[in-house]
A and B are shown apart, each in its own frame.
Chain A
């Protein structure tokens, strides 16, 4: 009997955790503050694969010294987190962090890169 209760408590952990201490309704609201119409690749691609793209950028720049990224639509970009990505996405706390915290991932970008100073709006 006690076993069944323990089993039920464990198996329904997410349900009662979110009811008691959680904010189940919370969905982060990402702020994109830029005039640009388009990221280096399509929005869908970036949402799914940005971490891979950034990793490739790092490898190409650091290991091969190549700084030019040719996007799938032929446009060229400077491969740089600070100068390209952060130019548009100036709001790390409202853009990167919100989503990363939501799904609990801890990227190591800013272990080396300097966190951009944010303009208080």
Chain B
């Protein structure tokens, strides 16, 4: 259900931009208005989501840990699995953000025919996820050549390494290939693993199809349905320098690619893709586990009216004495 809905949505989007540019000649809309609107939505949306999270109170540190907490000096503590200071938190977060450490611990449970319950490692998701995210980053960085003039030297070097196999002209970038293969795996696992399929929703399939659409349109545009990238850069430079212009005669594949990217950007803040910001703000991971070392007073605790024993005794001393109850002050 969610699968077909998402696929249909992406196909419709592609169709809309195709018809809009081919029939409607809406180059202005799809080349300038939509990208600007999408980018604005992306920035405002991401910031408001992050601010919303940052404002939510975390009165008590609820770190998820899987290592020995720091306590007595002769008990060996694990400062990465259960960090007690900022340095440990930074190390833990870096490993999580850059290497997806928690996903590496992914396990699967199987009922072998014995019947025996067997726990095993499940690293494919971690591998595909890591490959996907890193190659996506590489692709993103490579695209900066369309948005900078003069192009930084480093980018040329970067692209050279990415296309080191020199397959075809223009050369095939490894990152593009890895990205498409890994995102296809991430999609197929949702289809073929019954448990994962059961919990998959349109919100899971849609970003996958959208990213597949972006990657595929980019790859096809680079290698099969070529467009004039000279003019593409003119358009891109116009966008980033706020002197927008639409050069004549950029092929449809470019507009499809640009529109799918715009949709992805605009969809971003409203979707699970916000894990981009969320991973940094998850309080179970970005706080030091020092609940026992430091007292964290709930900042909005209102002053509680207390009636101490001394006051109690002052109030009832006579009655207590009369009843023969011992008192502290005579």
Per-residue CB contact flags for chain A residues 11-23 toward chain B (1 = under 8 Å, else 0) read 1011101110011
Q: Is the CB of A24 within 8 A of B228?
A: no
Knowing that A18-B147, A48-B226, A52-B226 touch, tell me 9 more A-B residue pairs with CB under 8 angstroms: A1-B54, A4-B51, A14-B144, A24-B243, A49-B226, A51-B170, A101-B151, A103-B145, A103-B232
Size category of the binding interface on chain A: 35 or more
- B window 159-177: CB within 8 A of A: 159-160, 166, 168-170
Cβ of B324 under 8 Å from chain A? no
A112 at interface, CB cutoff 8 A: no
Kindly supply a per-residue 1/0 record for chain B positions 226-241, scoring 1 wherever the CB is within 8 Å of any chain A CB and 0 otherwise: 1111101110010011
- Of the candidates B152, B168, B170, B234, the one whose C-beta lies within 8 Å of that of A27 is B234
A3 contacts the other chain (Cβ, under 8 Å)?
yes
Residues of B within 8 A of A7 (CB): 46-47, 50, 277
Is B115 in the interface zone, CB < 8 Å from A?
no
- Bound together, the chains give a CA A48 to CA B223 distance in angstroms of 11
* Contacts known (A18-B149, A18-B241); A8 close to B43, Cβ less than 8 A: yes
A8, A23, A55, A103: residue with the most chain B Cβ atoms closer than 10 Å: A103
Q: Does B121 contact A (CB under 8 A)?
A: no
Measured CB to CB, the residues of B under 8 A from A are 42-43, 46-47, 50-51, 54, 144-152, 155-156, 159-160, 166, 168-170, 226-230, 232-234, 237, 240-241, 243, 249, 251, 277, 280-281
Beta-carbon contact of B233 and A106 below 8 Å:
no
A-B contact count (CB 8 A): 90
Q: Is the CB of A103 within 8 A of B230?
A: yes
Q: Which of B50, B159, B160, B240 has the most CB of A within 10 A?
A: B240
Given known pairs A3-B50, A7-B277, A104-B156, the reply for A48 and B240 (CB within 8 Å) is: no
Chain A nearest CB: distance from B262 CB in Å? 15
Output the least CB separation between A35 and chain B (Å): 24
23 sample A-B contacts, Cβ–Cβ < 8 Å, listed by A number: A3-B277, A3-B280, A3-B281, A4-B50, A4-B51, A8-B43, A11-B42, A14-B147, A18-B147, A18-B240, A18-B241, A24-B149, A24-B241, A25-B241, A47-B228, A48-B228, A52-B169, A101-B151, A102-B149, A102-B230, A102-B233, A104-B155, A106-B156
Is A26 an interface residue, CB under 8 A from the partner? yes
Contacts of B243 in A (CB 8 A): 24-25
User: Which residues of B are found within 8 Å of A49, using beta-carbon distances?
Assistant: 226
Check if B237 sits within 8 Å of A24, measured CB to CB: yes
Nearest-CB distance from B251 to chain A (Å)?
A: 7
Cβ-defined contact, A104 with B226, below 8 A: no
Complex CA–CA separation, A39 to B277 (angstroms): 51
The answer on a CB contact under 8 Å between B240 and A24 is yes
B227 — nearest CB in chain A belongs to which residue?
A48
Q: Once the chains are docked, how many angstroms separate the CA of A48 from the CA of B230?
A: 9
Residues of A with C-beta under 8 A to B241: 15, 18-19, 24-25
A62 at interface, CB cutoff 8 A:
no
Minimum distance in angstroms from A63 CB to a CB of chain B:
15
Query: Taking the complex as formed, is A74 at the interface, i.e. its CB lies under 8 A from any CB of chain B?
Result: no
Interface contact A18-B234, CB-CB below 8 Å: no
A108 within 8 A of B: yes
B130 to chain A, nearest CB (A): 20
**Neighbouring A residues of B226 by C-beta, 8 Å:** 48-49, 52
Residue in A closest to B233 when the chains form the complex, CB atoms: A103
Question: In the assembly, what is the distance between CA of A23 and CA of B237, in Å?
Answer: 10
B169 lies within 8 A of A103 (CB): no
Q: Are B151 and A104 in contact, with the CB atoms below 8 A?
A: yes
Give Cα A17 to B155, complex, Å.
Answer: 14
Q: How far is the CA of A44 from the CA of B234 in the complex (A)?
A: 16
Judging by beta carbons under 8 Å apart, are B169 and A51 in contact?
yes
Residue of A nearest to B239 (CB): A14
Which A residues touch B227, using CB under 8 A? Answer: 48
**What residues of A have a CB within 8 angstroms of the CB of B54 in the complex?**
1
